[in-house]
Every structure is written in C-alpha cells, then in structure tokens.
Amino acid sequence: MPAEVRRVFRSVKIERPADQFVQLPSEKSLYRELAIFQKVAGTNLVAKGLLSRSKYLSGQAMLIVNAVPDVLRASLHETNEIEYRFMHFLLNEFGALDLAGTRGLRLLTGLVRRQP
C-alpha cells in the first residue's frame, strides 16, 4: 500500500485477531490462485449490470448503485453504519487505488499478472 493509504489504514485501528488459525500461502501465490475467480466474479458483476463496464475494462470497479436490489442496499447500509471507519477506508482509500500502472496495486505488491 502506498504510504498515505497505509497511514489511513492504521488510523482505522482494526483489531488483530488473538489467534491466527489459518496459514495462508504467500501473497503472490494466493493472488495467482485467486486471480481466475476474481476475474470471473468481476465479469459476472459487469454482466449483471452491477459494475460499470467501462471502468472495469480500465482496471477499476465502480458500483452502479441503482442496480443493487433495495433489500441488499438496506442491509449494506446497516453494515456500513456498524463498520463505518473500515468501510470508509475500503471504499474511499483502498478502493481508489488502480490495479495497473506505476502506482497500481499489482506493481506495489509485486504481484504479477498472469493469464490463465
């Protein structure tokens, strides 16, 4: 994460779990393993009209709020109220980072984009 985003993340003060009960592989191998699922999920959300196609093709994900069902939107609103600081960080700070480019998450994290 860029320094300014990391600073905001630290200010959210998310508690660390007492015990880590799952051993995850390295970030790079986890990214490679999940990349195909993320791509399918993203294209499905675009196909359902929930994400902007043009933004998705440029490496960003922009929610089309009007396409979200009212029941789901109400549930999300309730969750956002409870976890406001965390949700604000995810949507406004972390979510604003591009995936590609010289300041993109792929380059900053060292994750290599591989085609399946």
What mean pLDDT, rounded, does the chain reach? 79
List, for residues 53-106, the tens digit of each pLDDT value.
999 998 888 889 889 889 988 888 888 777 778 877 877 777 777 777 676 766
DSSP secondary structure letter of residue 62: -
CB-CB contact of 106 with 17 (8 Å): no
The H-or-E segment that residue 73 falls in is helix 70-82
What pTM did the predictor assign? 0.51
Say how far residue 31 (Cα) sits from the centre of its chain. Answer: 13
Q: Which two tokens stand for residue 7?
A: 């600073």
Q: Which two tokens stand for residue 46?
A: 């675009």
List, for residues 19-67, the tens digit of each pLDDT value.
656 677 777 788 788 888 988 999 999 999 999 999 999 888 888 988 9
